[in-house]
Amino acid sequence: MKFFEAIGRTVIRILEEFGHVFQMMGRVAGWTFRPPYDVPEFFRQMVRVGVDSVPVVFLTTLFTGMVMALQTVNGFARFHAESLVGSVVALSLTRELSPVLCALMVTGRVGSSMAAELGSMRVTEQIDALTALGTEPVQYLMVPRIAASIVMMPLLVIMGDAVGIWGGYLVAVKLLGVNPVRYIENSFQFLHVGDDVVSGMIKAAVFGLIFSLIACVRGYYTTGGAEGVGRSTTRAVVSGSLSVLFADFFLTKLLF
């Protein structure tokens, strides 16, 4: 009986969490277009989500591109198709790897700090103080964070695409001796900006919404002091990352 109870409790908790997230999405949407607009805070968050994440995204996509080239040159050599390496690297990066890996890295870096920040504001009554001063916390805290994530993620992904392709080029051409002209030509031969690059950016914007919303909701509903803040941070990263991966599957099905 205990076993079924545990299952029931878990299901209820998951549904509750879904409820919180969707309810909050509605509130965030409602408050986004109401004045006052806190433009300076929006820019501050864009720096935090975007500019500050550049090194992490740079390294992640650089090494992903390099590994992709290494693996495909190796594999494709078995049936003499080394000339197609550029295409494989470019397509897999723009369509899949760059958006997903960027989202996972930014969830870990930014999502965790959003949840921790809002969580400690909750447990030290700062969110209550905001409300008491007639300021809507959803508008003041969440809207700039979520909007900045939606705007900055596609830009990070564009940079990641370029860096990854460059990383693939470095390995294929400089390390494994593939013909540079053939490689570059081949990289862009099958790449359609409208389909591949843009769909990657759409994905990235959706991932930005997902991870920031989950992080904000987890932080906002924090209870139980310092331990609670830790719990919220962990849950923000775990459920944020998992939701990105789930959403990735359905978005790919939808967009391609």
Smallest distance, another protein to C-beta of residue 127, A: 9
**Of 71 and 135, CB closest to another protein:** 135
Contact (CB, 8 A) for 69 and 89: yes
The three-state DSSP-derived secondary structure of 182-208 is: HHHHHHHHCCCHHHHHHHHHHHHHHHH
Query: Among 90-98, 125-133, 185-193, 228-236, which window interacts with another protein (CB under 8 A)?
Result: 125-133
Looking at the Cβ atoms of 86 and 137, the one nearer to another protein is 137
Interface size with another protein, residues (CB under 8 A): 15
Judged by CB under 8 A, which of 128, 180, 245, 250 binds another protein? 128
Backbone phi, psi, residue 34, to 5°? -100, 135
Q: Give residue 193's identity as a one-letter amino acid code.
A: V
Residue among 45, 55, 53, 52 at smallest CA distance from 114:
45
Position 71 contacts another protein (CB under 8 A):
no
User: For residue 232, what are its two tokens?
Assistant: 């919220």
Residue pointed to by tokens 């941070």: 233
Q: With beta carbons less than 8 A apart as the criterion, state whether 202 and 100 touch.
A: no
CB 219 to another protein: min, Å: 14
213 contacts 226 by C-beta, under 8 angstroms: no
Confirm or reject binding of residue 132 to another protein (CB under 8 A). yes
State which of residues 131, 182, 184, 221 lies at the interface with another protein (CB under 8 A): 131
- Name the residue among 193, 196, 207 with its Cα closest to residue 244: 207
| Smaller CB separation from another protein, 138 or 153 | 138
**At what angle are helices 225-255 and 198-220 packed, to 10 degrees?**
160
CA 36 to CA 92: how far, in whole Å? Answer: 42
CB of residue 30 vs another protein: minimum separation in angstroms?
A: 9
Q: Provide, rounded to whole angstroms, the least separation between the CB of residue 231 and another protein.
A: 17
> Mask of contacts with another protein, 23-62, x by CB under 8 A?
-----------x-x--------------------------
| Interface with another protein, residue 227, by CB under 8 A | no
Residue 1 binds another protein, judged by CB under 8 A: no
Supply the minimum distance, in Å, between the C-beta of residue 152 and another protein: 20
Report the site for another protein in 83-122 (rule: CB under 8 A).
121
State in angstroms the smallest separation of the CB of 108 from another protein.
Answer: 22
- Assess contact for 126 and 16: CB atoms under 8 A: no
Phi, psi of 125 (to 5 degrees): 65, 15
In whole angstroms, the minimum distance from the beta carbon of 23 to another protein comes to: 13
| Interface ranges with another protein (CB under 8 A) | 34, 36, 121, 124-126, 128-136
